[in-house]
Every structure is written in structure tokens, then in C-alpha cells.
Amino acid sequence: MTKTLLIVFHSMTGGTRQMAEAAARGAEGQGVRVRLLHAPDAGAADLISADGYVLATPENLAAIAGLMKDFFDRTYYAVLGRIEGRAYAAMICAGSDGTNAARQVARIATGWRLRMVAEPLIVCTDAQTPEAILAPKTIAAEDLARCEELGATLGAGLSIGMF
């Protein structure tokens, strides 16, 4: 039976989308089905039908993005007790730090009793001015390679039953 890796993301300026797409590319060909969903389009049924997750968000004002929070708010209780033990990893696109958003994702995942299988992958864009923060992002090739590797790791781990 083919396992499913669900990648849920939100992106306003394109950075997190590039990271999520890179993770999806990495997971493809690993013997898993990959589903890449924008947070407003993802729901409880998507979480329940998946075997593992990549949760990708920008850090906005030292927190997860509002639409990722909305995703968690809409799905949290509907899947509570139904996805325990499944593998997950987090990816954060941040202007400078990203650690608080990573902590928030980890806290939610802990409530769901998910199993973190990789440290949060944080890509810092160094956007510090309002103009730079709001500008479209281009994620560096080496950071996209890290995202692909994370996707490949989750995909391979799910495929062989390690996760």
C-alpha cells in the first residue's frame, strides 16, 4: 500500500511556496504519493488520509502565518487522537530568526502526538525593512536543496516503513 506525504503550506511572497515545492520534488520518486496543499485548501480529511506531514509556514511577526494558524484551528480537534505517532517535519521561511514559529508548529504537533523526524528547517531571507519583507522572495539554490533533502528523507522513511 502506497503511503502519502501531505505538505501543507502558506506563502504570501513565494518563499515558503518554493520551499514546499522543493520538498515535494524531493519526496517524489521515493515510492510515496505526495500531496501539496495550500493551507486554506487543506482540511481534517487530508490529515487523516496522510501518513506523514511537512508543515511549511513563513514567520510573520515572530509567529506562524495567520492562514497556517487557521489551518490548525480548523483541523486540530477534528483529528485529535486520530493521527498520533505519524511523522512530521516543519519548514519555516523567516526574515531573521524563525525559531518562535518552529516552536509553535512543534507545540501543535506535540498536542496531536506527532513524531518529529527532523529538526525544523529554517531559511532566513534577511528581509528586515517593510519593502524587503513584502517583496517577492527567491530562495537560494542551497536552501532549496535542503528542502528537497527533507522531502526525500520523509518520503523514503514513509516508503520503507521507518516512519
What was the pLDDT predicted at 32?
Answer: 98
Q: What is the extent of the structural domain holding 74?
A: 3-159
Closest by CA to 37, choosing from 5, 64, 63, 69, is 5
As for how many domains the chain has, the answer is 1
Confirm if 2 and 52 have CB atoms less than 8 A apart: no
CA angle 83, 72, 99 (to 5 degrees): 100
Closest by CA to 23, choosing from 2, 42, 9, is 9
Burial class (CB in 10 A: 0-12, 13-18, 19+), 61: exposed
Report pLDDT digits (tens) over 95-145.
Answer: 999 999 999 999 999 999 999 999 999 999 999 999 999 999 999 999 999
Which residues, in sequence order, are bridge partners of residue 67?
A: none
Q: What is the DSSP letter of 93?
A: E
How does strand 52-60 pair with strand 3-9?
parallel
Which residues, in sequence order, are bridge partners of residue 4?
A: 33
Report pLDDT digits (tens) over 8-52.
Answer: 999 999 999 999 999 999 999 999 999 999 999 999 999 999 999
Confirm if 68 and 57 have CB atoms less than 8 A apart: yes
Q: Where are the alpha helices (DSSP H) in the chain?
A: 15-27, 44-48, 66-79, 99-112, 130-134, 141-159
Cα distance between residue 98 and residue 100, in whole Å: 6
What was the pLDDT predicted at 1?
Answer: 82
For residue 140, give the CATH number of its domain: 3.40.50.360
